[in-house]
Structure 1
Amino acid sequence: MILVTGATGHLGSAILDFLLPQLPASQIAGLVRDEQKAAGLQAKGVQVRFGSYDDPASLGRAMSGIKKVLLIAGTDEARRVQQHQNVVEAAQRAGVHWIGYTSRTLKDRATMANQLMEGHFQTEDAIKASGLDYSLFRNVLYMDALPQFVGEQVFERGIYLPAGQGKVPFALRCEMGEAIANVLAADGPAKPVYHLTGSASYSFADVAAVLTELAGKAVPYTPAEVPAFEQGLKARGLPDVVVGRIIGFMTDIKNGQEDEVSPDLAQLLGRQPASLSEGLRTLYKL
């Protein structure tokens, strides 16, 4: 019996959709916090287990009879590490055999600018110390996030970001979901760490060039300086914490933290993942 947490989120839903053709629905459960969001899962035959990362008792009930748990990272930045610890401890108490976690692929924990990512490493530490068999899915930045990074008016204004010529092997979230589902469905032992990345790295200059080609109009990329970029974000009324987070992401990209290509995603998919051109064509419907 497999339990997928965050079952109604984007990644959780994708994983479940790829699991269902491989396993009987009776062997698949989804952890849901909001009962109103459970109907879609129930219609697919997925067992719904109600629980919250903040409620250890509910997590214990949700894990009854479960052998594998996939912990999808929570979104409450202030409480995320404790929430994840609650899931790990509940899995220990319930006799779960294996736990997976959707982490992040970053080269050097000691030098990263985006300290929000430290919570992922702390969760990894807790899982390693738990005594459970585990797999860490270190996911690269979703290609799906590119429209948010480059802005809604990218075809009118181009791309203006403080990422220098830093590169990222972007990958589509749906393909990461498919790969993780394949690991969950497999009978054999899983690797302790998977780096789920695209097959090539791309800079934002590359993103601009592909958008230019797909749209048939020039989309320039201008590497911004951090002070001017920060001032622009604040002028738009963004809170300081959000500004810091965006700059942290861009600084890590500029410094090469994300630039690590792995064959793991391609191997789990049994094909090459979508290229930047293929992904952007899909995302922008071009």
Structure 2
Amino acid sequence: MTKILVTGATGNIGRSTLKHLLKRVPANHLAGLARNPVQAADLIAEGIDIRQGDYFDQNNLVRAFAGIDKLMLVSATAFTDRNTQHHNVISAARQAGVGHIVYMPIIRKAGSAFTLPEVTGEDIFAEDRLKSSGLTYTLVRHPPFLESIPFYLAGNACETGVHVPAGSGKAGFASRDDLAEAHAVVLSQAGHENRTYSLFGGPAVSFADVGRILSEISGNPVPFVPGADEDYIAHLMAAGLPQPAARFALAWVQGINAGEWDREPGDLENLLGRKPVTPTEFLRASYGAAGA
């Protein structure tokens, strides 16, 4: 049977992907890569082979990928020299004899000039490197995470309102867990070779829609308060976010407002065989029992 390795095993996406793989693949055919395997004690207890490795150490990666047939490359964190890290993983996989890499870039709208700092350019680099490597690949493109909505809003939006830059665009947000389950499907099945999926959740919502949903959940009006970009930065910083993180959030919100991820479920729903978690379901779980 195919031996599958998931990188970033101690992070949200990597850990969840392995958890979903356990439902589909015997544990002795699964491996994970972690900088600190001690943090993967729960996965080791399940029988998963956790191997030590760092994206910046290519020689170590070659050893860690020994005997692996299919590899899930969990994207490196923004602002950490993603190009070097992704290049190292792809090169090491090829050296180690890995046959197939699954990679998770951000979804890009065809023909759009929108660029997400520290994400878009680095994703394009990784995709080009992967396609020129000679390896079989699958691209599982991600929309913005549902879990990022509280980050974009900052503070308790049910009390303070939805303060974002003006715009009416929508996004087909998806939950990390649904995306991880889709990864597990692709990794555990044949038939996904050299294919590209756009894993939109749905229904697509705008920030004004988020305000309406929060109003229904809380039982009180939650105003949608559109403003200028610098007002948004100030709002996030007042909630305790450092300026670089606030500007990163602004870039995502600008993309959402521009409709960069305005699509309904298709590939994600097909891979899961069910409807993905909706924004209303996520927001109800996140913001409270008041409207439950």
**Please, what TM-score do these two structures have when normalized by structure 1?**
0.94
* Distance apart, 1:188 and its partner CA: 3.2
- Corresponding residue of 1:30: 32
Aligned twin of 1:81: 83
Paired residue for 1:104? 106
For 1:1-286, what aligned pairs fall within 5 Å after superposition?
1-108=3-110, 111-117=113-119, 118-190=121-193, 192-233=195-236, 239-286=242-289
Which moved further from structure 2: 227-236 or 145-154? 227-236
CA offset at residue 175 of structure 1?
Answer: 0.7
Aligned counterparts of 1:77 and 1:108: Cα–Cα separation in 2: 25
How much has 1:283 moved relative to structure 2?
2.5
Tell me, yes or no, if the aligned pair for 2:78 and 2:118 is still in contact at 8 Å. no
* Equivalent pairs, count: 286
Partner Cα separation in structure 2 for residue 266 and residue 103 of structure 1: 18
Q: Distance in 2 between matches of 1:275 and 1:110?
A: 26
AA matched with 1:49 = R
Residue 167 and residue 233 in structure 1: after superposition, are their counterparts in 2 closer, same or farther (change >3 A)? Answer: same
**Structure 2, gaps ≥5 residues long:** none
Superposed CA deviations along residues 87-110 of structure 1, whole A, max 9, x for unmatched, are: 000011111110011111121576
Name the CA distance, whole Å, in 2 between partners of 1:229 and 1:63: 44
- TM-score, with length taken from structure 2: 0.92
Q: Distance in 1 between matches of 2:202 and 2:235?
A: 34
* 1:264–1:18 Cα change, 3 Å: same
Distance 1:267 1:74, change over 3 A: same
**Secondary structure in structure 2 of the residue aligned to 1:201:** coil
Partner deviation per Cα, 1:197-219 (whole Å, 9 max, x = no partner): 11321001111111111111111
For 2:129 and 2:102, the matched residues in 1 are separated by 12
- Note if contact 2:140-2:196 (Cα within 8 Å) is conserved in structure 1: yes
AA aligned opposite 2:232:
F
- Cα deviation, 1:39-82, whole Å, max 9, x if unaligned, reads 11110110011100010111001110000010000115231111
What letter matches 1:282 in structure 2?
Answer: A
Kept in 2, the 8 Å contact 1:164–1:224? The answer is no
Question: How far did 1:20 drift?
Answer: 0.4
Matched residue of 2:98: which SS? coil
Q: Percent identity?
A: 37
- Structure 1 position 114, deviation (Å): 2.3
Structure 2 counterpart of 1:212, which letter? S
CA distance in 2, matches of 1:45, 1:254: 44
Query: Quick one: distance in 2 between partners of 1:246 and 1:260?
Result: 21
CA distance, structure 1, for counterparts of residue 275 and residue 241 of structure 2: 38
Code of the residue aligned with 1:182 in structure 2: it is V
Q: CA RMSD in A?
A: 1.8
Structure 1 pair 69–105 and aligned structure 2 pair: CA distance change class (3 A) = same
Change (3 A) 1:274 1:35: closer
Contiguous gaps of at least 5 residues in structure 1: none
